[in-house]
Amino acid sequence: MIAARGLTKRYGPALAVDGLTFDVLPGRVTGFLGPNGAGKSTTMRLIVGLDRPTAGTVTVDGRPYRGLRRPLWQVGAMLEASAVHPGRSAAGHLLALAHASGIQAHRVDEVLGLTGLGKVAGKRAGGFSLGMTQRLGIAAALLGDPAVLLLDEPVNGLDPDGVAWIRGLLRSLAAEGRTVLVSSHLMSEMENTADHLIVIGRGRLIADTSVEEFTRRASGGWVEVHSPETSRLAQLLGEQGAAVGAGSDGESLAVRGISAAAVGDLAARHQIALHQLVTRRPSLEEAFMALTGDAADYRPHRAAAAPGART
């Protein structure tokens, strides 16, 4: 389990992480989400002790990372994609890490095989594609067969096969009871992978919740209406107390606070033709955008973004 309490990191005048408190629990994939620059990578660096917090604490299984004697046995981390010397072979890189951690050398071949790098084990990492470099980072994280895994943007640079592979890997690792924290700036990546979400923006916690709850909280649905008489319909809907905004294509209406059936009935009563009447649910991506929009725009943080913010 990873536990952050009031975790804060300041780089000069910039507050990269601002009082984060959260727990990452075992047995599920926790998605760590936020727009670029939200403080995800900094938080991960703080977890593994590369940076010192300005205030607050973060522990892994109850101990600060820098107090762990041979942490690779407990924690595997893939931080930036290139934490490898380009002149060193994949096998050489992993072997050095294994020696430093008292892990037997045969484990190097195992993780190379597991990540599909067996054939390029002797090749210099500098010649690797981004996807292969990512796989090498994942191999290093798995080296000690740890119960806690941290992966920073692992899907970056992977082809569709690789993306599917890593999703399966993360799910199976979590199913084995491990603690898995995966960061991403793309919500859609997490949609099929994560069970739980920790969402941050501008270094602050925005949400710490299940995927379903996150979508529900972010926004209710709305009704999209296409009609040749949008302005008249909009006026009638407004009189019914519905919130009417412009739809995604600019020609339709996005209506909130009223059901699709009620919109249809109203149009029929006033003999307004409807070309399309659709109930929309926000995707995880849209929920994410709605919640982090403020944070990404460097506006003051609000506890819950208004669903109407998009219209």
Partner 1 sequence: MTQAAVPARAEAPGPRGPLFAGIALAEWTKLRTLRSSYWTLLAAAAAMAGFGALLCAAYARHLTPASRAALDPAAYSESGFFLAQLAIGVLGVLTVTGEYATGSIRSTLTATPQRVTVLAAKAAVFTTIAFLTGLAASLAAYFLGQAIFAGKGIQEHLGGPGTLRAVLGAALYLAMLGLLALGLGALIRRTAGALAVLIAVLIFLPVSVGALPAAWQNHVNPYLPSAAGQALIGPTKFTPPGHLLSPWTGFAVLCGYTAAVLIAAAVTINRRDA
State the residues that interact with partner 1 by CB under 8 A. 25-28, 45, 48-52, 65-74, 77, 79-80, 82-89, 92-93, 95-104, 140, 144-147, 175-178
CB of 143 vs partner 1, minimal distance in Å = 9
- Given the complex with partner 1, which of 102 and 168 has the nearer CB atom? 102
CB of 65 vs partner 1, minimal distance in Å = 6
CB of 102 vs partner 1, minimal distance in Å = 3
**Of 6, 27, 30, 28, nearest in space to 18 by CA:** 6
CB of 9 vs partner 1, minimal distance in Å = 9
CB of 130 vs partner 1, minimal distance in Å = 14
CB of 172 vs partner 1, minimal distance in Å = 11
Residue 37 CA to residue 153 CA, distance in Å, equals 13
Residue 78 CA to residue 111 CA, distance in Å, equals 14
- Given the complex with partner 1, which of 82 and 156 has the nearer CB atom? 82
Cβ atoms of 180 and 174 within 8 Å: the answer is yes
- Given the complex with partner 1, which of 187 and 211 has the nearer CB atom? 211
CB of 48 vs partner 1, minimal distance in Å = 5
- Given the complex with partner 1, which of 31 and 71 has the nearer CB atom? 71
> Tokens at residue 149, please?
């895994």
- Given the complex with partner 1, which of 54 and 311 has the nearer CB atom? 54
- Given the complex with partner 1, which of 156 and 311 has the nearer CB atom? 156
CB of 86 vs partner 1, minimal distance in Å = 6
- Given the complex with partner 1, which of 51 and 229 has the nearer CB atom? 51
DSSP the chain: -EEEEEEEEEETTEEEEEEEEEEE-TTEEEEEE--TTSSHHHHHHHHTTSS--SEEEEEETTB-GGG-SSGGGTEEEE-SS--S-TTSBHHHHHHHHHHHHT--THHHHHHHHHTT-GGGTTSBGGG--HHHHHHHHHHHHHTT--SEEEEESTTTT--HHHHHHHHHHHHHHHHTT-EEEEEES-HHHHHTT-SEEEEEETTEEEEEEEHHHHHHHH---EEEEE-TTHHHHHHHHHHTT-EEEE-TTSSSEEEESS-HHHHHHHHHHTT---SEEEEE---HHHHHHHHHHHHHTTPPP-SS--GGGG-
- Given the complex with partner 1, which of 113 and 221 has the nearer CB atom? 113
